[in-house]
Amino acid sequence: MNCIKCYQEIPEGSKFCPHCGAEQPDTASAANTDAQYQDTYTSDYQNTQYQTPPVYQSSYEPEKPINWVPYLVLSIITTVCCCLPFGVVGIVYATKINSAMNAGNYEEAQKSAKTAKIWIIVAAAVGVIANIIVAVMAAMGAMDSYYYYY
């Protein structure tokens, strides 16, 4: 048997601990208390089975966050390389994506992403077409000067 205060080994049936002097509970009542606890434990917890929590069905799905970085990078590239006016509009809408995401307005962010994507494509297409036209005109000008000399 161990002391309830200092946890030293004491003789069975001791009313006081010889090491610290703490009063010890009666061994018969302690055994009775342990038996009551064991009965309560087995009846309440041991034979019950755990149940899985109920699954709540909802139409709400968490919104997938929109990554605004590619839109901003592509709109800057199309502004510098292709078409300045349409690229600037793409930059404006690409920055609106980040603002809407920080505000928690996912629908507005998706709308801004779609609009930025459209303006990026338009800027790239206009830039490519303009560069082709300039190349054709330069070639025609070079050909004109070729025929002029000969």
pLDDT in tens, 88-132: 999 999 999 988 988 888 899 999 999 999 999 999 999 999 999
Query: Which parts of the chain register pLDDT below 50?
Result: 41, 43-45, 47
Contacts of 95 (CB under 8 A, 6+ apart): 68, 72
φ, ψ of residue 70 to 5 degrees: the values are: -60, -35
Question: Residues 6, 12, 17, CA angle at the centre, nearest 5°?
Answer: 30
Question: Is-above-0.85 flag for pTM?
Answer: no
Tell me, what's the pLDDT at 94? Answer: 93
Contacts of 97 (CB under 8 A, 6+ apart): 66, 68, 71, 72, 109, 112, 113, 116
- What span, in angstroms and rounded, lies between the C-alpha atoms of 139 and 141? 5
Angle at which helices 69-81 and 84-103 cross, to 10°: 170
Whether 117 and 128 have beta carbons less than 8 Å apart is answered as no
